Structure 1
Amino acid sequence: MRTMSVKEIRNRINGQLIQGSDEFLVNDITYHQRKLGQGKLLFLREKSHINWDVISNSTPCVIVTDTVYDKLKAIEKCTVIKVQDIERSFWRFVSSYRNQFSIPVVAVTGTSGKTTTKDMIKHILSFDRNVTGTKTSANSRTHHLTYLLSIESNTDAAVFETAVGAPGDVLSASRYFKPTIGIITNIGVTHLDGCKTPEAYFQAKAEMVQALSQKGTLIINADDANTRKIKLDGFQGKVLTFGITHHANFKASKIQYGYNGMKFALTFRSKTYSVFVPGYGVHQISNVLAAFAAAYEMGISIEKSTKRILSFRNLPAHLECSKGLGGCIIVDDTWNSNPISLKAAFRVLNGIARGRKKIALIGEINALGELSLDIHKETGEMIAKNGVDVLITVGSMATEMAKQAVKTGLKGEVHSFPDIHGVYPLLEKMLDEKSILLIKCSASDHSIINVKKKVKRLRPK
């Protein structure tokens, strides 16, 4: 955050100084009482649960409030700013802080691929620009203010993830970030515990169109059936598309699996470029196409992006390959799990198996609400179409996935476990140098993660 005086902040939110000094310098701002500390400013929005001890122990600090409490006035070295409406003042500050900076701000949403796409954009830009943005995949609404304040006077660009846990999340994020470029990687099915229906989830992702100003740039996946349904009639900004199977501004062809990555030809404006992107899978090509499109909008040529992406490295557990028990190959995709990423993982498994025995250890898909059973069965059909020599599932819903896979033609062995007990002994018997094991679950599935740690070992030097 750019250091600001109390006087400057008061002027931005139309506040009245009740006690303390206008000259006091603020180095951070929060709306969580537990994050208050010396030199920080707190917007006191949680009126029903005020922890006076936390405030007392955080001085010198600044409190913005629309109710001046006697207990607050009694705290020494606590500067107090009185406003008429705490919520309105908070958003006034957010807007004024963001408006200080005339820089490109990218917002990335999608069911899968948004973390990798965001990291690719940051990587490409970082060669000659000061870039801030979302760290790993910590993209919840509670991080928005912190990320906004990471934009400082020397920041050249910002790249943020805008996740969807419920309708309105993308629009809420846009109030903080005011993106100039918006990306929708794809729209599948997840977070139905918050969105309730696939239609509501679709509309929540499509909020990206509203999140952009009419001068903004929208970058969307031409191959994704749901993304193609987004209505753009009222959008007057620029639209760029990326894809492999459908016509697109940034189009990939001649795709090959290479050593630790993917080779392909990129066609843009009638010119073709040879590209290698680290990381396996056709989905990785979609990610890099979206990243190249965003970088191009920010003045980075395709030639430069092609060179810079060579040094990109995925986050751990994103289809990460290593040696494992018995000399097998482990494909670790345990960062997150949804139907789109599961399909991508099985495609990678088939793409790199090269004659090895294909074994898949699969956990349940979370956050599917009332449609959980139906979606697990649909995922089972996908597994049957892609094929695997051995399917191992953990959990009752994953068992239904396995049953549906068998029902729709899966020919391999199937082992379904209600819980993790018995999985590792089975893998001990199966894994050798002629096998490849895909482990697919969410990071919160600790039982499978623990088995993963047991079967993985470092690649020999």
Structure 2
Amino acid sequence: MLEPYSPLIIVTDSEYRQNKIPEDVIIIKVVSAEEAYWKFVNFYRYQFKIPIVAITGTSGKTTTKEMIKHILSFEKKVTATNLSNNSRTAFLQYLLSIEDDTEAAIIETPVGSPGDISKAGKYFKPTIGIITNIGAHHLNYCKTLEGYIEAKGEMVQVIEPNGTLIINSEDVNTSKIDMTNFRGRIIKVGKHMSCEFRASHIRYNLNGMQFTLHHNMKDYEIFVPGFGEHQVYNALTSIAAVYGMGVTIPMAANHLQSFQQLNKHLQLFEGINHSILIDDTWSLTTTSLKAALQVLNELGKDKKKVAVIGTITDLGSSGYKIHEQAGELIHDIGVDVLITIGEHASIMAEKVMNLGMDIPVYKFKNSTLVPQLLRDIVDNNTIILIKGDMYSKALHELATKLKKPSISSE
């Protein structure tokens, strides 16, 4: 029964009766199994003198990680966390995926609770750390936005000495992190003149975004698949990271053009009644909601814009307040029809109406009646945004019912 795992070594601080263990199993008795475990982790990690990138953020971390992986994979042997499977229980598995021929590793770190990034740092000891942005999320464990910002800020502490931290210069919450004791290099990306990797002339193009990248007194034209200004920030961050690993900007830009947009990340489909459907049911935070609404407005110029929005999860006692803030976002950015699904999502609808937004607003506890409503109100001059998260089965099923074969490249 043990053959698939042979050779097998048991490291333990417990007493074993030898007659219960097969003869081909080696037992190493130690004083402390936990101490031995961490000695092994440290020993294994330092066998590799390669760039290790650790990424955190409320939105964009999976896309940024996949972009970096995509660009590097043309020239290097790369290992990375699988999509958004960043569970703390998989840290050792991902560390052991680094092998003799691995030339770079890209790790998406979780933040469900304070200490998660610190623990990831004990395993991976990143040479490059990235914070994409910080919104409001996981407040059920981090309790407050300040606690969540502090948890994200653990990234500053885990980067190896003389390492690099890449941040979004325009993200207000990231600027609240105490970086005074950080002795490595800080690289800022964004639109501000102070950014080392700066974007200007941002515009929508067929199937993606076009922008001008300014770096070291030189300009580069960049195309990145996927819609929204947030996608430009993902691209800027990715290019900054790979540039630090020896990839030139023209080479990175060339590879970036073939990046495959991630499933359920603002994907375009033909919808019912020949409408356009945007499936953005991977993640729902106020940060990603703002990005999605901006894309809806840009792609929906001269069209009726319908937003179908689910409940924002993992908010703890801050749920009511955050859903009200989401309602304010909807009011400020604007839609033509609002449909909310879920009890807490109705708080957004109430806020929109209380702010005096004169649009049709529909509130549903579940999605049962939504398909028929949409059939009645949409046509070929309508664009529909379905916005939820990966845990919302109702939103996923609704998007599936409403879509026809993709009309965008993926």
Give the TM-score range, shorter chain.
over 0.9
How many angstroms apart in 1 are the aligned matches of 2:186 and 2:343? 43
Q: Give the C-alpha shift of residue 71 in structure 1.
A: 7.6
Secondary structure of the corresponding residue to residue 69 of structure 1: coil
Extract unaligned runs of 5+ from structure 2.
Answer: none
Check the 8 A contact 1:383/1:410 in 2, yes or no. no
Secondary structure of the corresponding residue to residue 373 of structure 1: helix
Q: Give the C-alpha shift of residue 37 in structure 1.
A: 6.4
Percent identity, aligned pairs only, is 47
* 357, 364, 375: which one aligns with 1:428: 375
* 254, 272, 277: which one aligns with 1:325: 272
TM-score norm. by structure 2 comes to 0.96
Q: Give the C-alpha shift of residue 197 in structure 1.
A: 1.1
Check the 8 A contact 2:64/2:238 in 1, yes or no. yes
How many angstroms apart in 2 are the aligned matches of 1:37 and 1:428? 58
Residue by residue over 1:81-107, the C-alpha shift from the partner in whole angstroms, topping out at 9 and shown as x without a partner, is 221111111111111001000000000
How many angstroms apart in 1 are the aligned matches of 2:356 and 2:36? 60
* 188, 200, 209: which one aligns with 2:156: 209
Could you say if the C-alpha distance between residues 246 and 421 of structure 1 is closer, same or farther in structure 2, counting changes exceeding 3 Å? farther
* 313, 325, 333: which one aligns with 1:386: 333
Name the count of aligned residue pairs.
408
Residue by residue over 1:56-102, the C-alpha shift from the partner in whole angstroms, topping out at 9 and shown as x without a partner, is xxx76332211022288444543322211111111111110010000
CA RMSD of superposed structures (Å): 1.6
Q: Which residue of 2 aligns with 1:189?
A: 136
Q: Which residues in structure 2 correspond to 1:5-84 (within 5 Å)? A: 38-40=3-5, 61-70=8-17, 73-75=20-22, 77-84=24-31
Q: Give the C-alpha shift of residue 347 in structure 1.
A: 0.4
Q: Which residue of 1 aligns with 2:362?
A: 415
Q: Which residue of 2 aligns with 1:148?
A: 95
Q: Which residues in structure 2 correspond to 1:342-361 (within 5 Å)? A: 342-361=289-308
Residue by residue over 1:416-436, the C-alpha shift from the partner in whole angstroms, topping out at 9 and shown as x without a partner, is 011222111111212321111
Residue by residue over 1:326-372, the C-alpha shift from the partner in whole angstroms, topping out at 9 and shown as x without a partner, is 11111111011111000000000011113111111100000001010
Could you say if the C-alpha distance between residues 459 and 86 of structure 1 is closer, same or farther in structure 2, counting changes exceeding 3 Å? same
Q: Give the C-alpha shift of residue 447 in structure 1.
A: 1.2
Could you say if the C-alpha distance between residues 433 and 298 of structure 1 is closer, same or farther in structure 2, counting changes exceeding 3 Å? same
Q: Which residues in structure 2 correspond to 1:294-305 (within 5 Å)? A: 294-305=241-252
Extract unaligned runs of 5+ from structure 1.
Answer: 1-35, 41-58
Q: Which residue of 2 aligns with 1:54?
A: none
* 90, 96, 102: which one aligns with 2:37: 90
How many angstroms apart in 2 are the aligned matches of 1:246 and 1:186? 19
* 175, 182, 189: which one aligns with 1:242: 189
How many angstroms apart in 1 are the aligned matches of 2:125 and 2:17? 38
Secondary structure of the corresponding residue to residue 406 of structure 2: coil
Check the 8 A contact 2:338/2:349 in 1, yes or no. yes
Could you say if the C-alpha distance between residues 69 and 424 of structure 1 is closer, same or farther in structure 2, counting changes exceeding 3 Å? same
Q: Give the C-alpha shift of residue 246 in structure 1.
A: 6.1
Check the 8 A contact 1:39/1:62 in 2, yes or no. no
Secondary structure of the corresponding residue to residue 153 of structure 2: helix
Greater mean alpha carbon deviation, residues 96-105 or residues 322-331: 322-331
Higher radius of gyration, 1 or 2: 1
How many angstroms apart in 1 are the aligned matches of 2:64 and 2:123? 21
Higher RCO structure, 1 or 2 (CA under 8 Å, sep 6+)? 2
Secondary structure of the corresponding residue to residue 203 of structure 2: strand
Could you say if the C-alpha distance between residues 71 and 392 of structure 1 is closer, same or farther in structure 2, counting changes exceeding 3 Å? farther
Q: Which amino acid aligns with 2:381?
A: K
Secondary structure of the corresponding residue to residue 79 of structure 2: strand
**2:100 matches 1:165:** no
**2:351 matches 1:404:** yes
Q: Which residue of 2 aligns with 1:121?
A: 68
Q: Which amino acid aligns with 1:270?
A: M
Q: Which amino acid aligns with 1:212?
A: I
Q: Which residue of 1 aligns with 2:284?
A: 337
**2:82 matches 1:135:** yes
How many angstroms apart in 1 are the aligned matches of 2:364 and 2:19? 57
Residue by residue over 1:257-297, the C-alpha shift from the partner in whole angstroms, topping out at 9 and shown as x without a partner, is 10010011111112111111100000000011000100110
